[in-house]
Structure 1
């Protein structure tokens, strides 16, 4: 039995745009869509929403939100199997729990403290840092690029532990007939370029070659004929990936998950691209 694609909705238009993306993705994958709402979501992201709708009963509001979401998804994909869940618990914990039995989890974000569309909301950040399955985060300023790709390119950041992220990105590219653009950032420690003025530049070449070798090794298991591009770019990984994401429909990053460790498990690069990427971001757990 195929695991469903789970999408969290909060009743906002950015949230329903994330649902549009999720419905398209579920149709591409041929898996059911599960529309989930945590009934206490408004404590963090939309307290004014319930007041504006004049619905003081949180359970009624939660049911309405998922029903509207299901109707919207069915209009988009009439044959798509859809299930609903209005859960009486904190949204971030509800979604993390739902992610234990999901092929993918999709969340939207409206930003925090009035900074709409610029920074990731608290629920999206928590889910991306704790969920067992891959998570796609779509901020309010992201175009819907699952159904009609804009660039025809999926970008994946290749680090020291990226096997799951590369596999996920390759599968996404294959579903869309898109190019897989694998990017490896590299840095040359400053002290290696100033030891001797006559060999300045040589250390940079060595580090770039090592990056290229690591990139080739990461892509070694891709199927023959896969459409790929490779880039090794000097600079901080977060800056390099944000630059590559300018011409991508999806940016994929791996995050290390340590069994028995608690707290947010994202890392600096994933944290930065989640806040600032110009396209949706997929966060893929890498197991030790």
Structure 2
């Protein structure tokens, strides 16, 4: 993995808009926050919507933080959805859910005052309702429980949403949140099969790097390939094209330990929700050390 080791030292740390926003949210859990700056909406601009599924788990709080940061960076609105399963003491459950949504909205207002926040409490199937609500969203965000399965917004729900939602999905995988120093200055990493920026996932990755003001690494991995690298500037973004002689899954998981997020396409054979994802996508959802964007 010598070439991946070279990549690890490639990107120098520099302030990014994403890093500034992350520091504000870390301030809410013990770090000293910086004063946020409200960004006015531009006249005639189409406002997107970031939809995030929320529950009481720590993974869910991390997902809401990342969803709010995405909304702030892009000037989009944020919608927080909390789904409760039917049955049980509905009045007590609704009151608990309402308090959760109130706390999450207050956190976003404190850290990202420019973001317009709406919240909704629903009863039913979490995955079904999140997919239905996501039809009108520009980006859907779900949390990931490390080592968990089958819970409200945990692994099974995240897999289903990631596979079946037709638009971009962000699965927030951040083991050990809050992260260590320098997380906000890390690059976006695009898992690519060819060195061009014309695919949907590549277009998305470039736009994400541009709004974050960070570098983009276009990573191609082939077990029998040769190590190749070059750096270019595309639309104001410093882009590092890297080909490494390694298994694609191994290379991507290794690099994810030093990425702010990875971006890859979702594709696979028809069938169950998980089978709709390609093998690399499934591995990233299970094993990556950073958030994962899935884009068609």
TM-score (norm 2): 0.72
Q: What stretches of structure 2 of length at least 5 have no aligned partner?
A: 1-45
* Residue in 2 that maps onto 1:17: 62
Instruction: Provide the C-alpha distance between the structure 2 equivalents of 1:223 and 1:79, rounded to a whole number of angstroms.
Output: 29
Report the counterpart of residue 72 of structure 1 in structure 2: 107
Residues 1:270 and 2:281 are matched in the alignment: yes
1:61 corresponds in structure 2 to 96
Q: Residue 5 of structure 1: which of 40, 50, 54 is its match?
A: 50
Partner residue, 1:47? none
| 1:277 CA displacement | 0.6
Matches within 5 A, 1:63-142: 63-113=98-148, 121-139=155-173, 141=175
Give, in whole Å, the separation in 2 of the partners of 1:182 and 1:113: 31
> Which one of the candidate residues 206, 210, 213 is aligned to 1:174?
210
Tell me how far 1:256 sits from its aligned partner: 2.5
Alignment deviations for residues 21-57 of structure 1 (CA, whole Å, 9 cap, x no partner): 111110001000000111129x9xxxxxx9xxx9874
Pick which of 156-165 and 81-90 moved more: 156-165
TM-superposition CA deviations, 1:182-227 (whole Å, max 9, x none): 0011133xxxxxxxxxxxxxxxxxx549xx7xx99xx99x845430
Deviation of 1:149 after TM superposition, in Å, equals 4.4
Q: Aligned pairs, how many?
A: 243
Q: How does 1:32-71 map to 2 (within 5 A)?
A: 32-40=77-85, 57-71=92-106
Aligned Cα root-mean-square deviation (Å): 3.2
1 CA distance for matches of 2:178 and 2:189?
16
The structure with the largest helix share of the pair is 1
Residues 249-264 of structure 1 mapped to structure 2, 5 A cutoff: 249-256=260-267, 261=270, 263-264=272-273
Distance 2:245 2:131 in 1: 35
In 1, distance between residues paired with 2:176 and 2:217? Answer: 20
Q: Alpha-carbon deviation of 1:152?
A: 2.9
Question: Secondary structure in 1 aligned to 2:76?
Answer: coil
* Cα distance in 2 between the residues matched to 1:37 and 1:252: 26
Q: What do residues 39-85 of structure 1 show as CA deviations (whole Å, max 9, x unaligned)?
A: 129x9xxxxxx9xxx98743333323222221221111123111111
Which one is further off, 236-245 or 61-70? 61-70
List runs of 5+ in structure 1 lacking aligned partners: 44-49, 189-206
